[in-house]
Every structure is written in C-alpha cells, then in structure tokens.
Chains A and B, each alone.
Chain A
Amino acid sequence: MENVIELQHINKSFNGFQVKDLSIAVKKGYVTGFIGGNGAGKSTTIKLIMNLLQQDSGSISIFGMNYMQHEKEIKQRIGFVYDENIFYENLTLKEMKKIIQPAYKNWDDKAFQYFVDQFELPLNKKMKTLSKGMKMKASLTFALAHHAELIIMDEPTSGLDPIFRRELLNILHDLMQNGDKTIFFSTHITTDLDRIADYITFIQNGKHMFTKEFYKIEEEYAIVKGTLDLLDRETEQEFIAIRKTNSGFEALTAHKNRVANLFGDTVILENPTLEDIMYYSKKGGELYV
C-alpha cells in the first residue's frame, strides 16, 4: 500500500521538546489518528511534516517527494487545519480568500462557495469575530477548495462542541468516499477517533510507540482485572503497566490471547480505550525508564 507520508529516523530537539528516531508512515486513502499526551511531540511532528521545522537528522518524504526539491509541489497538494488562528484577524473571509486563492493552481471557486454555504460561514465578517469552530470550518474550506489530497489537522476538534465534532466526522467520511484522499490528524479527544480512524499512530516522549489498524488494538490489547494473588514476577511480565489497589489489580496487556490462556477465568478481560492505552503506556514508561 502506498504511503503518503514517510518519516524515517527523524531526530529533532527544540524548545525542550525532543523527537527521537521517529519513523512514521501514513497510508494513502485512510484516516490516521495521531495520539499522544501533552508534550509527546505531536505538534512538533506535524510541524516537521509541514516543513515549518527542519529535522536535525533523518528524512521526510511526502507523496514520495522531499521538501528540499519539491516544496511547492508538495504543498500544492496539502490542506491544513491548525489548532490556532492562522488568519489575518482584521480581514474578512472573502478577503482571506483573495490572499489564499492565488497560491493554488487547483483552486475551485465553486467548491469554495459550496462549503461556505454548507458550513454557513459569513463572508463579510472579520476573522477575529468568528468562533473557534467557524475558524476551523474556514480552514477546512480552504483545504477543500483546492482539492487537497492530504489533509493534515492539528487538534481540529479541541474546543469544539460535541455536535460540531460529530458534524466534522460526517464531513470527513464524505471526503473519504473515493479513496484518493488521506487524512492525518492529531487529537487528544480519543473518542472522536472511534468513528473515523482507520489507523492509530501513538507517540510518547518523542518516540513512536506503534501504528496499527484500529481493530487490531482491540484484538491485541486488553485491560485485565483480577485479584492480587495472581501476580508474581513471571505473570507481571505480561503487562505494560499494573495499577494495584487493596481490592485487586488492573493492568494493560498487549498480548490479550496469551493472558487469556494464562489466567483463564480467574481474571476479567475488557477492551481498552485509547485513553487506557495512553495512560498505562505512560505509567509503564515511567517504570522502566
């Protein structure tokens, strides 16, 4: 399968953030959810992908091209949605369009108008008066109006109300219909991913933990609950991290089947949420570092 984004052995340290030997591949035609706690390096990675930052070492390839030689070709095909306001505050959407439109060869005015109508965006109000959700819709409108093949979103749903988050997911579903678009988005609202993400890429402390099909996570990982007497040095090896209390233990395993065989009916196995995985991985990381 074709990769739209390929990061290989990227190292970057800046402002106290570090990305270490990061290798990520994002597959064409799918939605990849990019998760990790605060300070895990999500924004840094997205900035590296957008060439807003340059890596200290390693290689970045987008659509099979590198930024050194093909910066403009690459960016012609990318649409971006950021968490922060990136518009001139005193301009209206209509004026912003006049500035952004000439940058793109594939600009489609009809598509722009279509999404302005669909999102009910005001063309003649200053950008600074728009709500966060509106600005996000505006960014998305610009991304869709030049038929971007790769849409990169940094925390697009943070600060949005649940109704609009749901609407956004519907829009993304529509986009994915013909299979030639790729979406890569970071979020810490992991429940948004349940409905749309095909792959999950998880980073922690600037390191790549895994990239997996979403359903594989359910197949491989489990939350295990049982009594403390089941734990010993050997069985504890099966867990990423364990939370012990007086009433028993709760742990995360990446070997659901093995644990099921090992403990049989003596434990309860539950499907973990992405939050469980993030929480326990962080805990486990602290234990072993």
Chain B
Amino acid sequence: MYSLIRKDFLLQKHIVLLYIAILLLFSLFVEASVYVGFIFSLSFIMSACSLDEKDNINILLNSLPYTRKEIVASKYIGALLFTLLFVIVMYVGDFLVNGNNGLLLLKEVMLILGLVMITTSFLLPFLYKFKMQYLHMAMVGVVVIYLLTISFFIKNLHDVIRALTLKILALQEIQLYFFAMLIIVILYIGSWLLSIRIYERKVF
C-alpha cells in the first residue's frame, strides 16, 4: 500500500516540486497561510484522484496484487501525508524567512489538516461513486450557492469566515480543539469506510 502512495507522488512529482517552490515563495508574504496550505493540499489530492479515475487505470490497479481496501486506504492515508508534507514545507519556509518569532502556530497546522480532512471526507466517497465530471458540476453548484449567499443573504460572508477563522485560532480551550479534532477524525474514518463500500462494489 505504501507503494500506492509512492505512485501518487511519482505521478505528480513535477507538480509537487512546483507546489513546494510556490509554498516557499508564499512564506515571504506569510498572510494567508492557512488557505494556501488547504488549497494546495486539496488540489494535489484531487488531481491524484482524477489521474486514477479512468476505468483502465482501475483495471491496472486491481489486477496488480492490491486489494480494493488498500487502494482506497492509499488515498486516505496519502491525503494526510501530502498535507503534512506541504505543512512542513510551509513551516520550514516560514522558519527560514521569519526566524523564530514568525513560526506557524500548531493551531494553524491543525486547522489546515482539519479542513483538508473535512473536505476530503466529502469528496472521496463522491468521487468513488461518481466521476470527476460530476464533481465539476457539483462544484459549479457550490459556487452558485456561494455567490447567491454573498449577494443576497449574508453579504459579508467573507468577513464572517475570516472572523471565524481568527476566532477559532484565538480559542484557548484545548478541550474544544480536542473535541473538534475527534469529530473530524470520526468523520474521516466514516468516509473511509463508506468509500471502501462503494469501491468494492464497483465494476470496470
């Protein structure tokens, strides 16, 4: 299974290097590090999925000595590992540029990881059930809803989100963090089991 994760890395090694370079550059303007980390991790995970989505690649992977459980597991574990990789890169970049006093907070790292896990939890079962093209449609739908929301209902959604992020980061209660993390982990595992169920019934 480790080799499946390695495969995702090999397939996108140029992109990984590019991302790392960009992330290091971003460290110079440290501002939106949580969003940057989140977007980069997520886009990497999604493109790994879209590369494996074709029927013929599924035929290859399932003809090799892997079980379907492992194929699904590689995506879930890979998602965490790649996110960690990007976070570490950001962390190192931040350290190099800003020295000791500019360190990314552990909270920020947790927030990136949490966001990636939540999004992945919804996206992966969707992708195993449907094809990428439906995801694009769903994305368009989400964007439409988002635009409608900010133009008609909550005009200052952006500010609300930013405020919310700051609020979360400002939270001191460690229990609350722990509790949130626990829920996310349960969500992630639930999504993982669901994906296995979907993938095991798939025909190519």
Chain A residues near B (Cβ < 8 Å): 14-15, 47, 50-53, 71-76, 78, 80, 82, 84-88, 91, 95, 98-100, 102-104
Contacts and interface: CB of A to CB of B under 8 A. Distances in A.
SS of A interface (majority)? mixed
Contacts of A53: 203-204
A50 B66 CA distance: 12
A85 B7 CA distance: 18
A89 B121 CA distance: 29
A7 B59 CA distance: 21
A82 B59 contact: yes
A76 B65 contact: yes
A78 B60 CA distance: 12
Interface in B9-35: 10-11
B56 A52 contact: no
A170 to B, nearest CB: 25
Most A C-beta atoms less than 10 A away, residue of B59, B65, B203, B204: B65
A157 B29 CA distance: 59
A72 B3 contact: no
A85 B56 contact: yes
Interface of B: 2-3, 6-7, 10-11, 51, 56-57, 59-60, 62-67, 203-204
Contacts, number: 60
Query: Shortest 9 CB-CB distances between A and B: which pairs?
Result: A102-B3, A75-B65, A86-B60, A103-B64, A72-B65, A76-B65, A99-B7, A80-B63, A86-B56
Contacts of A14: 203
B142 to A, nearest CB: 29
A75 B63 contact: yes
A252 to B, nearest CB: 36
Contacts of A50: 62-63
Given A91-B11, A103-B64, 6 more contacts: A52-B59, A72-B65, A72-B67, A78-B63, A80-B63, A104-B64
Contacts of A74: 65
21 contacts: A14-B203, A47-B204, A50-B63, A52-B59, A52-B63, A71-B65, A72-B65, A72-B66, A73-B65, A74-B65, A82-B56, A82-B59, A84-B59, A86-B56, A86-B59, A87-B60, A88-B51, A99-B7, A99-B11, A102-B2, A102-B6
Contact of B65 (A87, A98, A103): A103
B176 to A, nearest CB: 42
